[in-house]
Amino acid sequence: DPACPSGSNTTILGHHASHAPDAQPTRARRFPGATVTRPSPRMRTESASVARAFKPAGAHTMPAEPSRIDWDAVTDEATRLLSDFIRIDTSNPPGREKAACDWLAEIFRREGIDDVAFYDASDASEHGAERMNMTATLRGDGAKQPLILLSHTDVVPVERQYWDFEPFSGAVADGVIYGRGAIDMKSMGIMELMAMLIIKRNNLPHTRDIVYMALADEEAGGRWGIEWVEQHHPELLDAEYVINEG
């Protein structure tokens, strides 16, 4: 079924053709682990392929345990989760990222990652409702400073008249996932989620804490996200490494 991507050819595309509603993505060169798409020159788009990270080309260089991982199954799971994540409308404003944090926390807890914490930045101001941040942590032995896998759960608003697909459907067609946030940046949030799940499921050793951090309000300045965390919980940012977009 072409609407159900599998194996290494899953492609992620957030399609927003503001000036060319009928524009379609064009295929580009193949990378190990994914097919990359590039928008036509007429398109103003948030698109870029991120699926290659679902199936690391360097997986054979990892320790022996990960060789047992079924990367095709990981790709299928990541695709499904990204579609589900896109369906949670966190357009900012107003954001209302609590729904996204609740969804993520449920997945972590279901997988036995119970060290989940919520940081509510909500206030009574305009757009101040349900502005939630969260972390989920895999504890190490404390020998090294933490690694933070950071993403934001909000997305920019949409102009539906310029979309070929419902922007919050997470539709999958011809190996492509369509939706606001497919690139910026719910896709990376799912990559980091899958990394956490793979480490947990395979009992991969790690000395440092690995912290999944999902923040609010990146698209509108960070008042209820990173700025709020820095002001109210600076200890959360005490890490040796942070992996984020950009």
Give the whole-angstrom CA distance, residue 170 versus residue 182: 8
pLDDT at 67: 62
Q: Mind listing the pLDDT tens digit for each residue in 76-86?
A: 999 999 999 99
Q: Whole-number mean pLDDT of the chain?
A: 81
In this prediction the pTM is 0.76
Q: What span, in angstroms and rounded, lies between the C-alpha atoms of 174 and 151? A: 27
For 36, the token pair is: 């990359």
pLDDT of residue 35: 31
Note the pLDDT tens digit of each residue in 60-116: 444 444 468 999 999 999 999 999 999 999 999 999 999 999 999 999 999 999 999
What are the b/e assignments for 1-34, b being 16+ CB within 10 Å?
Answer: eeeebeebebbbbbbbbeeeeebebeeeeeeebb
DSSP conformational letter for 155: B
Q: What is the mean pLDDT of residues 162-181?
A: 95
pLDDT (average), residues 169-197 = 97
| pLDDT tens figures, 122-144 | 999 999 999 999 999 999 999 99
Burial class (CB in 10 A: 0-12, 13-18, 19+), 128: middle
Kindly state the tokens that stand for 187.
Answer: 């896709």
- Residue 3 pLDDT exceeds 60: no
